Copies of this chain bind each other. A is one copy, B any other.
Amino acid sequence: MRPKNLEKEQAIRTIALQIIAEEGLENLTMQKLAKAANISPRTIYIKYENKEDLLIKLFIEEVLGAYEKAVLENFDPNADFAEGVKKLWLNGFHYLKNNRHAFALIQYGKSSPLLNKAYQEKNIKEGDFFAPIHQFLEYNIAAGVIKDFPHEVLRALLFSPIIELVNEYFDYMDRPKQIITEEILLACCEVVTKGILK
């Protein structure tokens, strides 16, 4: 039996992300993707059931999976609160800054009903992305270190500025603006940390 060519599978995913980032999800077509990846449209259907299946797997596995891994790299849920938040901030910011195509699809994950639904269902069925962060927050609430808000609220206060700052890092022609220096990033991290300390 002829074996699957894994390079082709990776090419499909990489180039799909590129098209989505550059032209938008609404302009990704199977034929455009096949042509750009130098394969036949039929090949995509060997690896994915249909277009929706491709988009969902791209989002959940390729993008969110890698993002979660990068954010949690060397993160210790039992570390000091400020240290933990700092690690998560730096990991998250640098990953998104260096993976602009993944960042674009993450943004679509908040807009597109298809992707948004897939994300919610995955979290319900297979357990939350970022579970160690929940554990981290839980412990610090119980220990009286931080304010006792619902986790969703804590996560909004602690982490939502990161996405905005990454957005700010690039201007609309995708050239780096360099407003967001390491110094500013760390200062922002301190601001959000202080805000929810008791």
Residues of A within 8 A of B (CB): 21-26, 104, 107-108, 110-114, 116-117, 119-121, 147, 149-150, 152-153, 155-157, 160-161, 163-165, 167-168, 171-172, 179-180, 184, 187-188, 191-192, 194-196
Contact = CB atoms under 8 A, between A and B. Distances in A.
Contact of A111 (B104, B149, B165, B196): B104
Given A108-B111, A172-B117, A191 B195 contact: yes
Given A152-B179, A191-B195, A114 B168 contact: no
A171 B168 CA distance: 28
A178 to B, nearest CB: 11
A5 to B, nearest CB: 29
A191 B157 contact: yes
Contacts of A195: 191-192, 194-195
A153 B117 contact: no
A168 B149 contact: no
Contacts of A153: 165, 168, 179-180, 184, 188
A172 B117 CA distance: 6
A23 B114 CA distance: 8
